[in-house]
Amino acid sequence: MSAPAPGRLPAFAGSLSVAVLLALGIVALLAAVLAASGFDVSSALTALVRGAAGSSYAVFSATLVRATPLILTGLAVALAFQGGILNIGAEGQLLAGAAVASAVALAWGDSLGAGALVLALVAAAAAGAGWAAVPAWLKRRFGVLEVISTIMMNFVALYGVGYLVRGPLQEPTHIYPQSSSLPAGTHLPMLIPGTRLHVGFAVAVIAALIAWHAVRNTSAGFRLRVVGANPHAAASAGGVDVAAVSLRAFLVSGALAGLAGGVEVAGVTYALYENISPGYGYTAIAVALLAGLHPGLVLLSGVLLGALEAGAAAMQRDAGVPLVLVSVVEAMIILAIVGARAVLARRVRGAVEVGT
């Protein structure tokens, strides 16, 4: 029986049973955190389930709406990590995309209508890629670790949005720290009438399927995986231009995160304001790791964590449970998966040393 690849979790089967087991594990972890915090576990979990999947409205207007930016940012992180790029800057790239999409929609929405919507989304993706290009250049030119530079860029984006909604993009009365509402022609159409589920969810699904195909069935995807597995071997034995592959992975990752920001503005908030993202770019790390960095399974993990966040809002409203407890659970998920990867890598190295 062959050993799994070093540093990788065993491949997740793309099946409903795996998704159910994963969901039960997260719920059990949340229940433990709730009990340790002194909350009524039964009433809190009842509110969680009701808020995430208790009705068709909860599913289509809460869970899947929240899952949309998580899927796109989760894809961004998964593709970067597969290429060996530790892009922790999806949050900043999302904010950059949201800001630029808002500016484009406000500038040309009345004159171009739906054309401005398309232009805004393209501009959002370009802004995300541009935001990722800065740490990519810093790494290539000066060897700056992307973990540090992308985190710092998150803060620049956060305060940049704060400046914009208090300055150039602030609404005309200058009372509220937000932009004017986007023209109606730049709003994403609803995917299901009578719900809040917009076309952005379909965009996220299509992006995940394209990424899945590209990573598994194209030469570019093969080079991405090889560079992520061992860049030195890829360069020496495979003749792969590691720097070019890494740059492309960085830019595509940023573009997906930026697109998530544009979709959020055009499909949910219809305006730019501070705290437009409740940390989607950071939750994306959990989404990507839960999916084993598999672009197709990002769909499942994105919906799963979208349900968790939708249910968390109901828990706070109906059971008085702070939203931060869900953030604690997400952080524990990341730590558990990173720890499992480290243990697995150590065991595989030990097996290889014994075999040799």
- Cα separation, 211 vs 159, in Å, equals 31
Highest mean pLDDT among 258-272, 277-291, 321-335: 258-272
Residue where the block lists tokens 């009578």: 194
Q: With cut-offs at 50, 70 and 90, classify the pLDDT of residue 2.
A: very low
Q: With cut-offs at 50, 70 and 90, classify the pLDDT of residue 353.
A: low
Q: pTM of the predicted model, to two decimals?
A: 0.89
| pLDDT tens, residue by residue, 180-210 | 999 999 999 999 999 999 999 999 999 999 9
* Contact assessment for residue 339 and residue 8, using Cβ atoms and an 8 Å cutoff: no
| pLDDT tens, residue by residue, 224-277 | 999 999 999 999 888 899 999 999 999 999 999 999 999 999 999 999 998 899
Give how far Cα 79 sits from Cα of 50, 74, 249, 253, 260, Å: 33, 9, 7, 6, 15
Question: Residue 207 phi/psi, 5° resolution?
Answer: -60, -40
Percent of the chain surpassing pLDDT 90: 71
Q: What is the mean pLDDT of the chain?
A: 90
Region of 222 please: left (phi>0), alpha (psi -120 to 50) or beta: alpha
Flag whether pLDDT at 21 surpasses 90.
no
Which amino acid is located at 208 in the chain?
A: A
- The pLDDT score that the predictor gives to residue 1 is 36
Query: Which range has the worst mean pLDDT, 120-134, 154-168, 223-237?
Result: 223-237
Flag whether pLDDT at 8 surpasses 60.
no
Q: What is the DSSP string of 111-143?
A: HHTHHHHHHHHHHHHHHHHHHHHHHHHHHHHH-
Q: Which of 295, 247, 286 is nearest to 132 (CA)?
A: 247
Which amino acid is located at 29 in the chain?
A: L
Tokens of 166: 């208090």
Residue where the block lists tokens 């232009």: 119
